[in-house]
Amino acid sequence: MLDQDFINTLLLTGKLAGWTTFILFIVGFPMAYVLAYKRFWFKPIVEALISMPLVLPPTVLGFYMLIAYSPQNAFGRFLEQHFNTRLAFSFEGVLIASVIFSLPFMIQPLQNGLTSIPKSYRETAYTLGKSEFTTFIRVLVPNMIPSIITAAAMTFAHCIGEFGVVIMVGGNMPGETRVASIAIYDEVQAMNYHTANQYSFVLFIISLLILTLIYSINGKKKIFL
């Protein structure tokens, strides 16, 4: 039988991935829209910063997040003085780091989806008197569903597999920051191979299912991409 710790760890992993995906969806769509359609001189810098997690070791971001969270520095001090909160080694701290670290996985598919929609669709909607917002909701979003699913699924799958950032920022606190990828490492260290195998198998199946979903949807709906 599965013990409560095992279930709690998986639930915490799902909670972190779910919240990260939700927050990034809300924050990422406007960012992807601006990057896809607006021109400004520092756009390459913004794009490079967003893509940094793809090439940067997670421990680098984790290290800087820890520094930022420290009450000895401005951001950490502000949080402690005004909200009586410390983010280091907390779920919220891991969540913020996870959101930043997963930015490219949400933004890049959304940006690609937006740029692949012919410009004439937007321009037609504008000449028909529709605002940018109405055009976005009624014309752009429905014609990039595969990109939206890809963005959400990739972000969720990437979060589930996150290790470096979580261990740097959150450590290994059961029920708070101990997600499945950390638990696998921990169980292997303790030579509990059976439990490590259970976690690994669940992560393997979830990741496989998510990627299969992405490929099957994109295969069917290629016409809209």
State the residues that interact with other proteins by CB under 8 A.
118, 120-121, 123-131, 138-139, 142-143, 223-224
Asked whether 46 and 77 are in contact (CB, 8 A), the reply is no
Nearer to other proteins among residue 72 and residue 127 (C-beta): 127
Q: Provide, for the chain, the percentages of residues in helix, strand and coil under a 3-state DSSP scheme, each rounded to the nearest 5.
A: 80, 0, 20
Contact assessment for residue 178 and residue 166, using Cβ atoms and an 8 Å cutoff = no
Q: How far is the CB of 41 from other proteins (least distance, A)?
A: 19
* Min dist. Cβ of residue 136 to other proteins (A): 13
**Angle, CA 193 vertex, CA 17 and CA 165 arms, to 5°:** 30
User: Looking at beta carbons only, is 86 or 130 nearer to other proteins?
Assistant: 130
**Of the two residues 13 and 150, which places its CB atom closer to other proteins in the complex?**
150
Pick the closer one to other proteins by CB: 5 or 123: 123
Of 140 and 159, nearer to other proteins (C-beta) is 140
Looking at beta carbons only, is 38 or 82 nearer to other proteins? Answer: 38
Cα 73 to Cα 2, 62, 165: the distances in Å are 43, 16, 20
CA angle 78-80-82, nearest 5°?
65
CA dist 112 and 22 (Å) reads 19
Rounded CA separation 194/3 (Å): 13
What is the nearest approach in angstroms of other proteins to the Cβ of residue 34? 18
* Alpha carbon distance 207, 142 (integer Å): 26
